[in-house]
Amino acid sequence: MKKCPACNMEMEKPKFGSELVCKNCGYREKIQKEPVIKSEEKKAEAEPLQMELFNASPLKVALLSVCTLGLFHIYWFYRNWSCVQKKTGEKFSPGARALFYVFFCYGLFKRIINTAKSNGYTGNDSPGTFAAILIILSLMGRAEDPYWLISYLSFIPLLSMQNIINLHNAKINPEYKVDTKFHPKEIIIVIIGGMLVFFSILGTFTPGQQTTGNPAQTENTQLLPK
């Protein structure tokens, strides 16, 4: 029990009130409350997730997503799930989660945002919103002409996630540099894929040359017996 600074007698706390009272001299002193820290904040401060995720520039993510007709999504999810597995030691298949990313994108987006926030990121982003946008835009690839072209925009949620990743990586690694360089294989993919995308869009709006659905689906349809 704290002693009174005036008479050196022990002070007592009344049943009601927020002050210590000395019964000898009547001296009063307010009780200083210790700040309460939430359990989640304690956990974040004790064990911050120092996990570096997939390094890529937003431009690279956008171009490779469009020029691979969305196949780059699988690679993007695979690289990030591999980073998560390496850090946490969880037993799952990064390849399977990447291949079926429409079912697991919410879980990864949530981990990316929470990991970034544990290291100082203050954005108010919703993993559910990004996941819903990705799923809807990806499914638009099965729509009729010309609406399937909207599926080319399915990289937009990944673009936002990549920006968060790059900010997070730079936060935990002062020497981090965003990978803006296009490697030879990526350049070839952009050139060939870009031509395919151009001609598919051109064919969609050219009278007498219209196709139904995206190029990958059209090709598969043509192989079926009439």
Q: Locate the domains of the chain by residue range.
A: 1-38, 58-216
Q: Which residues, in sequence order, are CB contacts of 113 under 8 Å at separation 6+?
A: 121, 123, 125, 127, 164
The pLDDT value given to residue 45: 35
Mean per-residue pLDDT of the chain: 81
The pLDDT value given to residue 42: 40
Of 22-26, 48-52, 105-109, 140-144, the range with the lowest mean pLDDT is 48-52
Q: What tens digit of pLDDT does each residue of 106-120 get?
A: 999 999 998 888 888
Handedness of CA 224, 64, 140, 96 (dihedral sign): positive
Q: Mutual orientation of helices 58-67 and 72-88 as an angle, nearest 10°?
A: 130
Fold observed for domain 1-38: Ubiquitin Ligase Nedd4; Chain: W; (2.20.70)
Whether 32 has a pLDDT exceeding 90, the answer reads no
77 within 8 A of 98, measured Cβ to Cβ = yes
